[in-house]
Amino acid sequence: MPRARGLMRNSRKTECGAKQFLSGLVVRVASLALTCLISLAGVVGVIIAQSSTERSVWDAVYTADQAKRGEMLYANNCASCHGSALGGGESAPPLAGGEFFANWNGLTLGDLFDRIRVSMPADRPGKLGREQNADVLAFMLSVNQFPSGKAELEHQSEVLKQIRFEAEKPRK
Amino acid sequence: MQEDATRRRNVLLRGQLAAMLFMTALGYAQQPSTKNGEWPHYTADLKGTKYSPLAQINASNFNKLEVAWRFKTDNLGTRPEYKLEGTPIMVRGVLYTTAGTRRSVVALDPKTGELIWVYSLREGQRAAIAPRQLSGRGLSYWTDGQGDDRVIFVTTGYRLVSLNAHTGQLISGFGKNGMVDLKEGMVTGTGQQIDLETGEAGLHSTPLVVKDVVIVGSSFKEGMTVVTHNNTKGLVRAFDVRTGKMLWTFNTIPRPGEFGNETWGNNSWATNGNTGVWTQMTVDDDLGLVYLPVESPTSDFYGGERPGDNLFGESLVCVDLKTGQRKWHFQIVHHPIWDYDLSSAPILADINVDGKAIKAVALPSKESYLYVFDRITGKPVWPIEERPVPQSDVPGEKTSLTQPFPSKPPAYGRNFLKIPDDLIDFTPELRAQAKDAVARYKTGPMFLPPVVGDSNMLGALNLGNASGGTNWPGAGYDPETHIVYAQAHQSALFPVSLRTPPPGFSDIHYVMGRNDTDFRVSEGPGFGSAADAPQPKRAPVRAAATPAAPAAAPAGGLTVQGLSIVKPPYGVISAIDLDRGDLKWQVPYGETPDAVRNNPALKGMNIPNTGQPGSVGLVVTKTLVILGDSQVTTTPSHPRGAMLRAYDKATGKEVGAVYMPAPQSGSPMTYMLDGKQYIVVAVSGGAYSGEYIAYSLPPEE
C-alpha cells in the first residue's frame, strides 16, 4: 500500500518534529529546538498548502529542473510507446494535446500520478519510484505548456489529488 | 373409463410437451443463436455480423437505459487493467468473458453480474514476455447439444484451454489436462521449433469454434524497431474441439512446394517471420469455408529483406474447413510495408447485385475500403483495379509497382491526406499553420513508401495505416437489409521515417527512426503488462540518461494550436449498401472533443459536430446501430464522461445516448433474458480501470 506509506511518512515527520520540539524546550538545547522549529514550520507550511483546494496545474506546480530530469526518464521509459514528442503510438494514447486533456480534464494530478504509478511503464509497472514519476509528470506538464515555478511537484498522491487538472486556464 | 383414458393421455401429452419445452428452455433442442436472444460468438455469429434481431431497446426508450450491473475487473490480476477490450458472449443464461491483467475467464449471471465461477492460469515468465497481453478480446463456446458444454480461450502465454461451461473446471480429455500448448509447432527460419517458455507467439483474439472444430490464429511483437526479421512464422491451425488433436495447419508463409512460395524472392520465406492472423476469423459452415485475414510480414515498415509480393501477407485467404487447403486468396496490399494488417473480421453477406444472388464476403479495413468478393470463387463483386503507386527510394527496398483499388463501394473514410484540401480550414491562419506543419513531411496519395528520415525529412505522411480506418473492432452487418455499418477513424496520421539501426541491434537494414536523432526502441501496445510482468525493481533514482531526442513533431502529434491538422470529421459512421455498392449515409461519429469545442482559436465560431477519432466496435439491432465514444467530454448537456450512443439504422440520426464513466474500450454486445434486453460494454481508459457495464430499461418499460 504505497499510498498508506506516503501518509505514514508524513505523520511520522510531524510526530518526530513535535516530540523533538518538546524535548528541546525541556533540556534547552537551543540549536536542536531551532532546527525542529524550522522543520515543524516547514511541515505546517506544507499542510497549509495542502489544505488549499484552489490549486490547479496553472499554478506553477513544478520546476523547470524537475521537468528536465523527467525528460530523461521519459525518453528511457515512456517514449518507446508514447513517442518522443508525446504524440502517442499505435495504441498508446498521446500524453499531450486534445485527447490527453480530454482524458484528464476535471480530474486531479493525483489521479494521473497514480495511473502512471500503477500501470506504467507497461513493460515493468512500478519500475519508477514516486520521485521519478513526479519528475516524469513535471516533464509532461512542461510539454503541455503549463507554467513552471519555484517548488517541485510533490510525490505524495494525497497532495497531488489537491491539484486539479484543468485543460483551460481558469479565469481569475 | 373413456374419460379417464383421455385424461391420462392428456396428462401424458402435457408431460411430453413440458419435457419438450424444458429441453427447449435448456436450449438443447437447438444450437445457441442470436435468434434466441443469445450472443454466442464474439461477433454475434460465425458470419461476423454483430447483428441481433432484438428490438426491446429502441429509439423511443434508449435514453431511459439504466445501469443494470457493473463488473469491475481490477482484482483479476496483480494490478488493474486500463485497456479492457473484451466482448462477452451470452449462451443458455450465462455470460462468459475474459478480464483483468491475468486474462481470467469469468462466468457471470447475465441479469445481475454476479460471479458464478472464475478460472485463471498462472503462467509466470511465459505470460510476462508474451507479445499480446492483457485480457484480450474474449472467448468461445461449444456444445454437443447433450450437456457437454465448454468455454474455450487462449491464455496470455498462448495455450488453448477448454473449460466446463458449468463449473469452470478444465476438461481433462482435451489436450494435456485440458489445454493444448500452442507454441508447439511454432517455428522460425526453415522450421526451428521456438522455445516453449521464451519463444515469441501469442494471441488475444478469440478462437473460432465451428461445428466440432476450433480454429486458432497467431500473433507476434509489433514491428517498428525489430531485432530480427527472422522471428516466429505465422500460421493458422485447427483442432478437434473434443480432444484438442490438431487437424490441420495453414502456413501463412508458404513453404517450398506450397502455393505462393515464389513470392518470397531470394528464398526469403526461410528468413522472415510474422504474417499471423491476430484478428477475428469468420466461417461459412454450410459451404465449409473459413476466411483468414492475414497481417504484415516482418517488419511493418521495411521489406528489403523479403523481395516480392510476400503471400499471404495482408491477404484475405479462404481455406477449406475440413482440410485447411487454400481455396482462393486476394492480396489487399502487395509487399506490405505500411502496417495495413488485415484488421477486421471478414463479414459474410448474402447479397443481390443487379438481380443476381451472390454469397459475398466483405472485408472492412484500415484503408476504409470495403473489399467485397464472391466468397465461393474469390472474384471481386465490383472490379478491383491495380493502379500505379509511388515507389520507394530507401536502399534495398523494392515496392510493388501497383496496388489494388476497389471501384465500389467508395471509401467510407478518408484514406490519404490531400494537400491542402484535407487540412484544417476553420480559419485561414490555421490552414497556413497546418501547411507549415506538413512542410517537412512527404505527402501524396495512398501507399507513400516510408522514407529515410533526417531533420529535413521527418517522414512519409500516410493516413489510415497503422491505426486508422476500421481497426480490430471491425464492422457490423444487417442480413435483412444487406447493409454494412462501419465506423472509421479518419484523422489517423502516421508519419514513418526509417534509419539504420545501431551496430549489433538488428539484422534488418532499416528500422523506425531518424538518422539525426538518438535511436529509440519502439514497442507495441501493451507489451509487458501482463499480471506476471516483472514486479518493481526500482531504477536508480536520478539515473544518468541520454537526453531525449528533439521533438520530431509538435507535442501531441501533428497539431496546430492544439487542433489536429486534419480537417474534421475526425471519425465517421457509414451505412454501406452491399446490393448497390454505395454509401447510404455517413455521419460524424460521437461528438466534438473538448479540445476543439473549448479551443481559444475557435472562440465565437460555430463549429459543426467534428466527431471523434479512434476505432470502436458496434452492435447492430433491429432498428439501431449502437456504439460508444472513444473520448471523455464535458459538455453543457452532460457531466464528465463518455456516451454510449444509438443511431437510427435507416438515417444515421442519433436517437439516444446514455452516460458511461469512461470511453468504450471493447465492442458492445446485446442479449435478451427473461423478457429483458441488455447491452454490455467494456469501458476503461485514463484514470478509469476496466469495467463491464450492463444497461437495461427500468422495470416500467
Query: A27-41, A108-122, B558-572: which has the minimum mean pLDDT?
Result: A27-41
Which element (helix H / strand E) includes B454? none
Q: Averaged over A87-91, what is the pLDDT?
A: 75
State what percent of residues in chain B have pLDDT above 70.
91
| Whole-number pLDDT of residue B391 | 98
Question: Taking CB atoms and an 8 Å limit, are B543 and A72 in contact across chains?
Answer: yes
pLDDT tops 70 at residue B504: yes
Nearest CB among B517, B528, B549 relative to A123 is that of B528
| Whole-number pLDDT of residue B547 | 34
B35 SS3 class: helix
Total domains in chain B come to 1
Nearest CB among B526, B556, B632 relative to A122 is that of B526
Q: What are the tens digits of pLDDT across the range B335-382?
A: 999 999 999 999 999 999 999 999 999 999 999 999 999 999 999 999
Q: B13 — phi, psi (to 5°)?
A: -60, -45
Evaluate the CA torsion angle B464, B467, B468, B474 in order and state its sign: positive
* Banded pLDDT at A21 (limits 50, 70, 90): very low
Chain B contact for A94, CB < 8 A? yes
CB atoms under 10 Å from CB of B547, counted, come to: 10
Q: Higher pLDDT residue, B18 or B536? A: B18
Residues of A in contact with B536 (CB under 8 A): 124-127
Residues sharing a CB contact under 8 Å with residue B425, sequence separation 6 or more, in sequence order: B431, B567
pLDDT tops 80 at residue B551: no
B145 in a domain, yes or no? yes
Q: Averaged over B458-469, what is the pLDDT?
A: 91
Which element (helix H / strand E) includes B201? none
Q: Of B196, B75, B201, B195, which is closest to residue B135 (Cα–Cα)? A: B75
The CATH number, out of the four listed (3.40.50.2300, 1.10.760.10, 3.90.800.10, 3.30.750.24), of the domain defined by the range A64-160:
1.10.760.10
Question: How is residue B51 written as a grid cell?
Answer: 447483428
* Banded pLDDT at A34 (limits 50, 70, 90): very low
Question: Taking CB atoms and an 8 Å limit, are B613 and A99 in contact across chains?
Answer: yes
Q: Which residues pair with A128 in a beta bridge?
A: none
| Whole-number pLDDT of residue A99 | 82
Q: Higher pLDDT residue, A31 or B230? A: B230
B436 SS3 class: helix
- C-beta separation of B201 from B218 below 8 A: yes
Using alpha carbons only, what angle is made at residue B133 by residues B128 and B134, rounded to the nearest 5 degrees?
115
Residues of A in contact with B558 (CB under 8 A): 87
Sheet arrangement for strand B582-588: B476-478, B483-489, B571-577, B582-588
Q: In angstroms, what separates the C-alpha of A16 from chain B's closest C-alpha?
A: 26
| Closest alpha carbon within chain A to B130 | A123
Residues sharing a CB contact under 8 Å with residue B220, sequence separation 6 or more, in sequence order: B131, B200, B201, B202, B231, B232, B234, B273, B274, B276, B298
Q: How far apart are CA B76 and CA B81, in angstroms?
A: 9
CATH number at residue B91: 2.140.10.10
* Banded pLDDT at B529 (limits 50, 70, 90): low
B56 in a domain, yes or no? yes
| Whole-number pLDDT of residue B154 | 98
Cis peptide before B299 (omega within 30 of 0): yes
Query: Running DSSP on this structure, what letter comes out for residue B182?
Result: T
Nearest CB among B525, B595, B687 relative to A101 is that of B595
Q: How high is the ipTM of this complex?
A: 0.70
Q: How far apart are CA A99 and CA A119, in angstroms?
A: 19
Q: Higher pLDDT residue, A125 or B68? A: B68
Query: A125-134, B10-19, B467-476: which has the minimum mean pLDDT?
Result: B10-19
Query: A24-33, B384-393, B452-461, B528-537: which has the minimum mean pLDDT?
Result: A24-33
pLDDT tops 70 at residue B301: yes
Q: What are the tens digits of pLDDT across the range A100-156?
A: 888 898 899 999 999 999 889 987 888 999 999 999 999 999 999 999 999 999 999
Residues of A in contact with B546 (CB under 8 A): 72, 75-76
Among A71, A81, A86, A99, which would you mutate to test the B interface (most chain B Cβ atoms within 10 Å of its Cβ)?
A: A99
Q: Higher pLDDT residue, B486 or B133? A: B486
| Closest alpha carbon within chain A to B82 | A119
Q: What are the tens digits of pLDDT across the range B233-265?
A: 999 999 999 999 999 999 999 999 999 999 999
DSSP string over B488-517: EE---EEEEEEEPPPTTT-SSS-EES-TTS
Q: Higher pLDDT residue, A97 or B60? A: B60
- C-beta separation of B176 from B161 below 8 A: no
Among A100, A124, A143, A165, which would you mutate to test the B interface (most chain B Cβ atoms within 10 Å of its Cβ)?
A: A124
Q: Which residues pair with B141 in a beta bridge?
A: B151
3-state secondary structure chain A: CHHHHHHHHHHHHHHHHHHHHHHHHHHCCHHHHHHHHHHHHHHHHHHHHHHCCCCECCCCCCCHHHHHHHHHHHHHHCHHHHCCCCCCCCCCCCCCCHHHHHHHCCCEHHHHHHHHHHHCCCCCCCCCCHHHHHHHHHHHHHHCCCCCCCCCCCCCHHHHCCCECCCCCCCC
CB atoms under 10 Å from CB of A170, counted, come to: 10
For residue B423, with 0-12 CB atoms within 10 Å meaning exposed, 13-18 middle and 19 or more buried, which class applies?
Answer: buried
Question: Taking CB atoms and an 8 Å limit, are A79 and B545 in contact across chains?
Answer: no
Residues of B in contact with A93 (CB under 8 A): 685
State what percent of residues in chain B have pLDDT above 90.
83
- C-beta separation of B633 from B591 below 8 A: yes
Q: Average model confidence (pLDDT) for chain B? A: 91
Sheet arrangement for strand B149-154: B140-143, B149-154, B159-164, B179-181
B8 in a domain, yes or no? no
CA B395 to chain centre: 33
Question: Taking CB atoms and an 8 Å limit, are B634 and A105 in contact across chains?
Answer: yes
B542 in a domain, yes or no? no
Q: How far apart are CA B507 and CA B419, in angstroms?
A: 37
Q: How far apart are CA B290 and CA B603, in angstroms?
A: 53
Nearest CB among B525, B555, B632 relative to A90 is that of B525
B289 in a domain, yes or no? yes
Q: In angstroms, what separates the C-alpha of A28 from chain B's closest C-alpha?
A: 39
Nearest CB among A87, A114, A128 relative to B553 is that of A87
Q: Could you tell me the pTM of the whole model? A: 0.87
Question: Taking CB atoms and an 8 Å limit, are B594 and A101 in contact across chains?
Answer: yes
* Banded pLDDT at B225 (limits 50, 70, 90): confident
Q: How far apart are CA B682 and CA B70, in angstroms?
A: 10
Q: Which residue has the cell 457493473?
A: B70
Chain B contact for A124, CB < 8 A? yes
Nearest CB among A80, A102, A132 relative to B633 is that of A102
| B138: containing domain | 49-535+558-696
Chain B contact for A80, CB < 8 A? yes
Distances in whole angstroms, Cα of residue B137 to Cα of each of B85, B531, B669: 5, 16, 12
- C-beta separation of B199 from B183 below 8 A: yes
Chain B contact for A84, CB < 8 A? yes
Q: How far apart are CA B442 and CA B419, in angstroms?
A: 11
Q: What are the tens digits of pLDDT across the range B622-665?
A: 999 999 999 999 888 888 889 999 999 999 999 999 999 999 99
Chain B contact for A112, CB < 8 A? yes
For helices A109-119 and A130-143, angle between their N-to-C axes, nearest 10 degrees: 120
pLDDT tops 70 at residue B482: yes
Q: How far apart are CA B141 and CA B162, in angstroms?
A: 9
Question: Taking CB atoms and an 8 Å limit, are A80 and B594 in contact across chains?
Answer: no
Provide the greatest CA pair distance for chain B.
103
Residues sharing a CB contact under 8 Å with residue B12, sequence separation 6 or more, in sequence order: none
Q: Averaged over B272-297, what is the pLDDT?
A: 97
**Residue extents of the structural domains in chain A:** 2-51, 64-160
Residues of A in contact with B79 (CB under 8 A): 118-119, 125
Q: Which residue has the cell 510474422?
A: B274
| Closest alpha carbon within chain B to A90 | B467
Residues of B in contact with A111 (CB under 8 A): 687
Query: B316-330, B369-383, B516-530, B534-548: which has the minimum mean pLDDT?
Result: B534-548
Question: Taking CB atoms and an 8 Å limit, are A119 and B82 in contact across chains?
Answer: yes
Question: How is residue B315 written as a grid cell?
Answer: 491477404
Chain B contact for A130, CB < 8 A? no
| Whole-number pLDDT of residue B558 | 85
- C-beta separation of B160 from B170 below 8 A: no
Q: Average model confidence (pLDDT) for chain A? A: 75
Identify residue A164 by its one-letter amino acid code.
R
Q: How far apart are CA B255 and CA B252, in angstroms?
A: 9
Q: How far apart are CA A127 and CA A136, in angstroms?
A: 13
Q: Of B597, B576, B594, which is closest to residue B585 (Cα–Cα)? A: B576
B519 in a domain, yes or no? yes
Q: How far apart are CA B23 and CA B2, in angstroms?
A: 31
Put simply, the chain A residues between 34 and 73 with a CB less than 8 A from any chain B CB are: 69, 71-73
Nearest CB among B549, B559, B633 relative to A84 is that of B549
Q: In angstroms, what separates the C-alpha of B508 from chain A's closest C-alpha?
A: 19
Q: How far apart are CA B701 and CA B690, in angstroms?
A: 29
| Whole-number pLDDT of residue B402 | 98
Q: Of B482, B449, B487, B450, which is closest to residue B468 (Cα–Cα)? A: B487
Q: How far apart are CA A84 and CA A139, in angstroms?
A: 12
B15 in a domain, yes or no? no
CA B339 to chain centre: 14
Most confident segment among A77-86, A126-135, B554-563? A126-135
Q: Which residue has the cell 521495411?
A: B302
Question: Taking CB atoms and an 8 Å limit, are A102 and B594 in contact across chains?
Answer: yes
Q: In angstroms, what separates the C-alpha of B467 from chain A's closest C-alpha?
A: 6
Q: How far apart are CA B657 and CA B61, in angstroms?
A: 10
Q: Averaged over B286-303, what is the pLDDT?
A: 96
Q: Higher pLDDT residue, B548 or B4? A: B4
| Closest alpha carbon within chain A to B595 | A98
Q: How far apart are CA B576 and CA B382, in angstroms?
A: 14
B540 in a domain, yes or no? no
Which of A56-95 are b and which e, b meaning 16 or more Cβ less than 10 Å from the residue's Cβ? bbbbebbbeebbebbbbbbbbbbbbbbbbbbbbbbbbbbb
- C-beta separation of B156 from B188 below 8 A: no
Q: What are the tens digits of pLDDT across the range B94-107?
A: 999 999 999 999 99
Question: Taking CB atoms and an 8 Å limit, are B593 and A90 in contact across chains?
Answer: no
Query: B283-297, B412-426, B520-534: which has the minimum mean pLDDT?
Result: B520-534
